[in-house]
Structures are given as C-alpha cells and as structure tokens.
Structure 1
Amino acid sequence: MALFLSPCSACGSYHGPRWRMEPGDLFIPVDSIEEEATLTCDAKGTPPPQYRWSLNGTLINLGLDRRRRLSGGNLIISSLDRYQDVGIYQCMAYNTGGAILSRRASLQFAYLDHFKVHTRSAVSVREGQGVVLLCGTPTSSGDLTYAWVFNEYPYFVQQDNRRFVSQQTGNLYIAKVEPSDVGNYTCAVMNSITKGKVQSSPTSLILRTDVMGEYEPKIEVNFPDNVPAAKGSTVTLECFALGNPVPEITWRRANGVPFPSKVKMKYSNAVLEIPSFQQDDTGGYECVAENKMGKNTATGRLAFYAKPQWIQTMKDTALAIEERLDWECRANGRPKPSYTWLKNGQQLLSEVNCRLLVLKPVYCFPSASPPDFTGNVLRALLKAKAGTTVTLECKPQAYPIASILWKKGNLPIHTNDRITLSPDGTLRLANVSKSDAGSYTCFARNRFGMSSTTGRLLVTDPTRIIQGPVDMEIIVGESIVLPCQVASDPVLDVSFSWAFNGQLIAKGDGHFETAGDLMIRNIQLYHAGKYICVVDTDVESLSAVAVLIPGPPSPPDSVTVEEVTDSTAQLAWSPGRDNGSPITNYLIQTRTPFTVGWQRVNTVPEIIDGNTLTATVVDLNAWVEYEFRVLAKNSVGVGEPSPVSVKTRTEDAVWARSVSASEIEVNWQALSFTPERVLGYEVHFYSFKWKQKSHTTQFKCLSSPPAHLKAITSQLGVAMEMAISAGRLLQPKLYSSL
C-alpha cells in the first residue's frame, strides 16, 4: 500500500498535492464509436500541481506522443489502439511541496475475434453414450456468454438434466445421446461488453448403429480445487456428468452446514450460485453425480479475499529539528495487506514492509550494504530506432541510497534539453541518433562501497515498408500475392506475420503461404476482407493494410448468333464466373464497319437478368455485317466483355417484282442513319426496261437513282447486285422470279 510523505502546510506558504480525483479502470469496446478515452487525475495544492503519467511503469513522453495529451491532469488518448494503449496507468501530481502517486488504473479493450473458418469433423456416437462438443472459443477480452444453435437459427439447445452448456468453457455436454439429438450444432458466443456475436462452423452429430449400455456417472464439468472469491461478489460453480441413465446432481458443504436460503441451484442442479459472498461462505464444496450404476464426486474449496481498507492513516505534522516522529498506517484485508512507503513518489526503501515509519534520523533500519547490481544489470546490448527515446535504468540494491554517475565510454554524461537524469538514477536520451551509440556505464557509490554496470547502445535506422499490399478485387479460383517488402538496418532481426480480419494467419492453412509476401491459393469468396502485414524488429513494429473485395464477373463465353432477319438477331451465350457476387444482368454491344467502336443495342427483353442466357437484338439495319459481344454485371461492377461473335450479315430489305414482260420493279430501303445519301427518302422505287440480247441484259432507268446501279441476270431469274458508289453504304442482293 503506497502512502505519501510530504512537508506540512505549516512549514511555509506552500503545501504538497492532495488527491481530489484519481484514475479509475477503463474497459473499452474495441469497435466503440468513441474516438477518445479519458483517465482522470486531479489534485489540489499550492502552487497548483503539475502532472505526469506512466504506462506499465514507463514515463509517457507527451512531447513526442501525438495521440496522448493532458487536459488539466486528465490524460486523453485519441485514435485508440488495441495493442499500444492497453496496460496499467499511473498519475503523478507534483509541485514544490512534494509529489504523490495515484492508484494504478488499467485500460483494457473488450473484443471478440471471429472463429477460424474451417470445416469441423462430424462426431459419431452410439445411442446412450455421453458426448462433449467443443466450442473452441476465439481470442477475446471481456466477459463472454455461450449458447448452441441446433440445426438452424433461432433454434437453441434447451438445457435440462441431460444437456448443459458451460459458461466457463463454452462446451456443450450431452449426458446421454438420444436419436432426437442427431443434427448440426453451432457454438454462438457473445461479448457482454461489446455485444458482438460470432458463430463457429457447424459440427454434425451422427448416430452409429450399435447402442451403448448403462454405465456409472463421469463428471466432465468441474470447478477448481481452490476458487478465490471476492467479498460481495456472486460466485458460480458448475458440475455436470455424463452417464446412462442420466445422472442426478446434488451439492453439499464439506462441513455439513446446510446451504443458506440465498444459495440457488440452476439447470437441474448443474450450477450452484452464491450471491453476495461472505467469509461465512468459505470452505469445501462437493458435487455428487449419481445414477443406479454408481456415483462420482468432485470437490473444491472457496477462499475469501477482500481488498485492503484503511483503518488508520497518518496526518501532516510539524517537527522541531532532531525531534522523533512516529507515523503508523493500518489497513485490513484478506489476505493480510503489505505496506510500502514513498517520499515524493519515490519508494523510500526496497525490501521494507512495515506499517510504522520512524524518523530520527533513520527508519525501519535494515542492514547497511554497498551498491549491488545483482539481478538488475544493464542489458549487454540495447537496440533503439533513431528518433526515439531510450531509457536506461540504474537501480542497485544499496543502503544507504547510493549516488549515481553515468559515463559514455570514459566521459561523464551531462544533462541538456535532450538528456535527462532522474533522481532515481534513470538516464533518458530523447531523439537518439547514431552519435548516441556506444558503451554506457552506471556507477553507484555509498559510504560502504561502489559498483557499476555497463551496457552497449546500438542506434538503428528506421525500418520502412517499401512495397506493401494494395486493395484489389479477387476472382474465385485464382491465386494472388500480397507483397510486403521492407528496407531495414542490417543489424536488426526482422520477422513477418499476417492477420486476416483481425486473426493471425496460421502457417498450416492450405490456402495461405507466407514468406514476407503472402500468397493466397485458390481464392474463395470467404477470403474477401482486411489483410494486415505486421513487421516486427528488435526496436519497432509497423504494419501495412489491404482490403480484398469480390470482383466483377468474368467474361461470358461462346457468344453465338442463332437466327437473323433484316432487323433482328437472336444471341445465346454461356455464363462466366460470378466471382462471389451473383450476376444481376447482362449487357449486349455491337460493332459494324460503319460505327466508331462498340455501341449498346436494344434488346428483347429490354433488361436481361442474370439467369437469362439468350436475347434478341432489335432495330438493326438490313444487309450490314454485325459483330456482337456480351458483358456481365454484378453488385461490384461490370466485368470484361466476352469474346467477339462471328461476323453476321443481316438479311436484305430489297426486293423486285415483274411489272410486265419487259419491266421489273426494284424496291429497297435506305439506311436510316444516312438519309442525306439517299435524298431524304426512306423507301425508293425504281423501274427498269428489260431486253434480252444474247447474254447481255440492259436496263433503262425510269427515274433517277441516288447512285450508279448495276444489274446482272441469269437463266434462273434475275439476280441484282446494287452498289451505291458514294461511300459503299448499301450492298443488298436480291433474287426475284419474273
């Protein structure tokens, strides 16, 4: 127990700090929307106190820490980090009158990681046999509650004398399996602080053909031999047994004293609950599981403990020189409290545990001893990153307290704005550089002797990730490599690890292969998520993050044109992979000699859903060569286009009929996208005189065509091939019997 020894207020116009508010423990959900955490610290004193904070015994350098700042005496931490901010915090308030240390306060993060994704093996048992299904709880912090889903949510296993879910292990225990128990079981875990929930992969329970005979109870759920229980807390003991017939559970106290009325039994006596635990509740407890085949007993002991509470404390006192002072502090608690005295925040004596402090002039007097560094020597080699703060502690065992001198090599070290030496002998080097590297020796001396300890400081260049992973889309079935390459000081040992969605990737996973870079083979949909490359060296840890998301669909395949008219074409295709996100619809594009690039076309149906693999393209032009391609779309985006279809020409829109024995009438439709080339007409009619002279056919144009028209006849009828010379816009072919 730490107390403060300070000058009294009567000794001058100042007085040392006194606590008004000390920090309390914090438990913060890791996914909390709060951006800051505040550890309170407030003291009164004259002059007003200043404040320092330590984390896990190391002073926090607020000048170099951008995430931590003071508001009055309160420590405010922004951009909370689950790994860097967890620990034990302590506040020091100080002024010219002295210094005091606050109670220690812990900052913890509540979290619940996901179960590792893998298929669980089926459990095969005989009817009548007992079985235990393991939950395999993922890493977590904070109180957890467990339940088991039977076959599908929201059907949960109902606990009775035959089935029990342990809130200590999360496992499911079935004392005697019946045919109705066959099915799939999923462990569901909830964090009581974050309210986050995760579920395991299902475990199948199947029955063998043979039947299990009767057997005596076997206790599978038991409480420890010795259970510490805090005063006023609620104590819960579990006990459950397998057996055939189903065992009956009973409880008793080892001393034979009946249970008080406050004690409760739950879940067919599998749980014993003692609310508001008191010292009278300590002692041995027995759980007895019994059926007609026999019985089994488990025993354990509940031990009482209580936090220290002050009975007597010291008061400010004014003394004359050479006057004796006796200060006594007393506290009760279970187990018996120990005591530590501090002066201005520094422990007066190590190895001293007394509740009485006597000043005149020495107190709680131990044996005199020269400085001794046994068990507290400097590290032989200390590596530190350039730009950081290095702390070298010099803490010998000595009485009286030793004076401290530091040397670098053979030269004494002098303090400056970058180098500080604390009263307890701790040397701090801020913003270290290569010039700070070397051999450091701490010399400790008192009137009984001198001793020293030496260590070497090596300052290294910062490690940099020169090529880290980047966000990308994944395609199911393919393999990718996430790079993680670093440049580091050659004297450093560098190690790599990868985490997927907050869980460390195990080397035995068949999909992953790590050696700095991470290779993911045969990617599946569940591999989408957040990947972190963590690089650890002797002096620092750094990381790089990438997110893999499902990609757009792969290209459709085998695009064929199955039926063509003068204005339509019916298409069919095969689907590509959806890459983890179902295909929502297809898009069709076309290209002709007269278009610039690919263009969207009109189709029937107008919107082609992801389950449709055929469509009719409409509003095409006659006697034009078309190429088609198909694109697939999902929730991520539009994928790459399919291979191009074979070139297909639409049918003609030109025809002829015999008007008389010497005339035929030719009819064609002009291209809709070039009306200016056909004098603004959509349909033109032309008549020609026909005369047979040997093998020559002559036509007389009865009206002015838009361009030169050439016709050839054969014995089978009339075959007319027309070409518009201005741009070769129309090349129809017609056959018509006379």
Structure 2
Amino acid sequence: MVWFPTVFNRNTNMNSIVIFLVTVIHCSSALMVRHPPSISKPRFGQIRYVIPFASENTVLKCSDHVGIPSPRYTWKRNGVTLKGDNITQVDELTGDLTIVSFSSREDGDYQCWAQNLWGTSLSHVIRLIAARMVSFNDTSSVKATGREGESFTLPCFNPPEQSPPGTFQWYSIDTKTGRTSQVYEDERIAIDTKGNLHFVYLKQTDGHSDKQYACAVYSKFSEVVYLGSKTQLTVKEKTVVPETSPQLIISTTRVVTLLGELTTLECIFGGNPIPQITWFRNGKPLDINRTTVVRTTKYGRVLEIVNVTERMEGFYTCRAENKLDVAETDVFIDVKSKPIWIMAPKSTTAVEGDDVIFTCRARPAVGEASLAPPQWYINGQHVNSSSADDSKFDFSSDGIYLSIFNVSRDHDIMCVQCIVSNDVGYQFKDAYLNVILPITIISKPRDLIEIKHGQAITLVVMGTTDPSRTLKYEWYYNDRPLDITQPQFFLNRNVNELTFDTSVLNRAEAEDLMGVYVCRVSHDLQTIPVTVNLRLVPLIVKTEPIVTTEPVVIFPTEGSSQVEIIPAGSKLWVVAVVFGVLVLVAAAIVVFFVIRKKNPGKTYLLGKTEVKHHLNPEKELQDHEFKLM
C-alpha cells in the first residue's frame, strides 16, 4: 500500500506507473499462494459395520478443501500404508479408498493422510468391522412348566454373538402346521435386554401342547430372523387364580455408560394385578412427560436417558406397585468418558514473525483418574521437548501448550496433531499453521504536508501483502471515519486515491479541515496505519503604515510664508514621496543649465537639411579660419 502526497493532477504519470508496478508485483505473486491441507471429511471417528462380500464396494471418502497446492492422499490400516491391489484401491487425487469384496480380513482402523508441499493432515479414524450374522448353534426343544397366576421366565438359550448386536424377538410356533407368529410385548409380557421372555403372570392360554416358544434374533443388516432353541410351555391350571404382590423378576443393577450415549435402565416385576412402574431419583419421581432427555418405554419397564451427562450419574429407583404392595429396586449409573475437550488445537493463520501457541487441554469425567500429558505430532511425526528445536518450539511442563516462535512462511507452515487418551478412549485433533506475508507499505508521505489555500492535494495509498489476502483501505480524519461525500473530497477506489481540493472552501473552512489524516490498510489479520498531518500555508499579510490621530503641520518652504496643515488620518507617506520626487526633478534641471552655460558652442549638431545637402558648417569655419570667441 502506498500513500503519495502530491499537488499534481491525480492522473499524473508517476501515480499511474507506481500503480502499474504494484499490480504487476501482486499478479506475479498470486502464483505463490500457500496453504497446508486440512482434512474436512471424515469429521469424526466412526465405527462402521460392513456386510461381507456385498455386491457393492465399500468406499471411504477423504477430502480437503483448503490445501494449496491440492494434496495427494494415502490411506493406512492399523498404521500400515495401503498399496493398491485387487482388494484395496486408493485414488491419490480424490482421496477415495475403495475396498472390493470386503471381508473380516479387512477389519481394522483406517486413517487418511493428505500431504502437499506445506504439511500433512491426518483424518479421524474409521473402524471397519465385518458384520457377523450368526445363527443359533442349538435349536433343540425343551419343556417348561409354570403355574397359572404366577410370574414365569422362558430363557433364551445360547444366543449368538452378532455384530452389530441384533434385536431379540420371540415367536410362537404351531407344531402341527409349522406356522409361526410373533409374540409382542405388552403390559403382561416382556423381553429383556438379554433376550429372555417374561410373563408378569401366567394365563392358561399361554401354554398348549401344540405350541412352542422360540427365541430369535433379528439382524437389520441382512433383514433375516434367526430362530433359536424352542420351549414347550405347560401352564398348570388353578381353580382360583391368586392375586400376588409385586416381585422383582430381573433388573439392571449397575450400568456403565459413556458420556453422550443413550443409556438404558430396566426393571421387570411380576404380580397380579399387573404392577405399575414409576422411576425415581433422589426420592423424587422423574418428570417423564416434560422432557425428551428422559423417557420410558415398554410400559414403563425401561428408562432411557438420551445423551447422558456427568450430572446424571448416580442411583435411580424403579418402584412397582399394585393394590397389594410396593416393591423397589435401585440401579446405579456410572458415567465414564474418554477425555473431554476443554480446548482443542485450532487451525491458525499467522503473519510472518508472529509467535503462535497451540493448546491441547482436556479433562477426565467427574470422579475419573487424571489424564496423561498430551502427545504432539507435526505432519504426523511425533515430537516432544527432547526432539524439537528448542529455539523454535517450546512445550509447557504439563504438555498442554505448544509454542512456535517467530514463524516463517518458508519454514513453519505445517499441520499439527494432538492426542489425549485414557482407559476409555482418546481424543484426536488435527489443525494447521499457515503463515502469510505481512502488509508492506511501498511508499508513504511525509509526516507533515503544507497546502496553499486553493490547491488540491492527492494522497495515494498502495500496498502489498500475501497473495491470499485482499487489502482493505479505510480513511480517517482525527480518529473518525472520513466523510468522503463532502464536495472537497474525492476518492478513487480503484487505485485508492484521495483528493482534497481546498479551492471549494473558504480559508476558514479549509483551516477547520487541517489535521491528522490516517489511511488504515488492513486484512483480517493485520492493520497498518499510514499517517499524515496536513497544515495550511500561513497567509502573508502586508503591514499598514502607522496612522496618528493628531494633525500634522508642514512648515513653509523657503520663499513661502504659507503653513500647510494636513488632517489627521491622511496618508503622509504619499505626500512625502511626491515631495521627494519634485525635489529630485528640480535639482536635475538646475544642474543641466549650469553645465550648458560653462560649455557653449563646442558642439554643433547638424540639422536634417544640412545632412541632406552634405553640408558641413564646422569644416567651413575651419577653412575660413573663423575663430570661436
């Protein structure tokens, strides 16, 4: 940015030349924009289940939108760089990883690396797991007997371990026809989280010699229901169905959950009549109807806490009540968490010469053990106080702060990674440090400029900076934004020329507008003020002769008896000058005649007639020997 003061026309050649040169410099430097990569996708760590040998390929996306030049991409599985083969294919330009015919051998942690000239950015980890859809090993039949009016449980024997976990269901099978019908939960029938089927109390119709109950697991991936072991239930009839008080059948006693996850508490009570379930905390009923954070399902038997927080840790009470009695059970929620961010490293763009600090601060969940110091990486390579250049890098004693001093555009553009971990998991953050050229003032005016009233002055401000930034020019007068709508100002925004024309102002108005003018040259990271003090050239004032208030008497000259009295306030100096001139003229006349008298006739001046007829009186006098007396 340049700021010239000049009294020339604002279209002068010099201004045009400077503007042209700055434009050429800026355009040529536009090819030098630099920016390290920063992976924007995937944004979070993920666990993905993949159906093995699916007809569609498995594709992982990795993308960066800021790196200049555009980065090249690589993928790593469990820390080992993947090389293209008939199973895994990496597109270095788009960042896509394609896995053909995914199977359990491709299970693992996948991470994308994006690298250009200025740094290497690392993505969050994606864990791929081959979905396991396993059927029951044991499908044999067993028999069970219960009593009418009493609670009863049919266990789900040896359920298969599926990933992701399936949903338990129960079916009723007609042994004669082979038809199956799903057993749905209601107030009297419940399925717990382990797949067992519970009757709050038995009815005679629950058991039949031609009916079997089968535990099943439904896989949402394959949309297949896998039937397991079968049970034939016999219900012994009673003449009088007894009423029973609430009795606990099953309940979760301690739930270890992770911060932010969906937490499920469960309690199932038997009894006749059917007990009503109410949930309490700290002796007070939970307000289920007025919140979406806490809700009940399965007729009150299941309490769900959405996005569990640390303050939700503690004891919860499940109370069952019918007309005969009340029964309770307590469930404890233990909220654990991987490290919780207080301040993760943030991507930073700094001006060359600045000092930069990255912060990696996290905390454990309330009541959990302290965290180990953070681990720092630069462009994916581990660094610490012993391996880094201590003249450039500094690590705080607790490892939370990484300082980089006097950053250089040529040497300190980089990507920075931080990892904080505990026994539950870890937090990862990737950030970048970009360094740009500072604002440079190519030329500036003198600190003080004097202007003659009636002149116009043109102030030209121009500058250069990093090609990734666009300069902004703002004009101020006496620390206030300049009102360029006034007629004495003209701003050519194309070349940032401010013209101040004093000819449209009277002198007093021009004086009022003298003072400090500032052009603030800035972009989002830096501001440079260019200041000039304008002052009006003082007006040259002619001094008037002293005017007396008393009359002036001029005494008579020689040969005159008249005394002249000049009224007070007359311009005596004019009289004096005229009198002096007259005296000089008189003296000159007197001198002329005195000289003439002393030197008569020695010079005879020829008249025009004598010259015309070639007469020479002086020669004739000599020839005739006339003598002058």
TM-score after normalising by structure 2: 0.47
| Bigger relative contact order (CA 8 A; separation at least 6) | 2
Specify which structure has the higher proportion of helix.
2
Specify which structure has the higher proportion of strand.
1
TM-score after normalising by structure 1: 0.41
Larger radius of gyration: 2
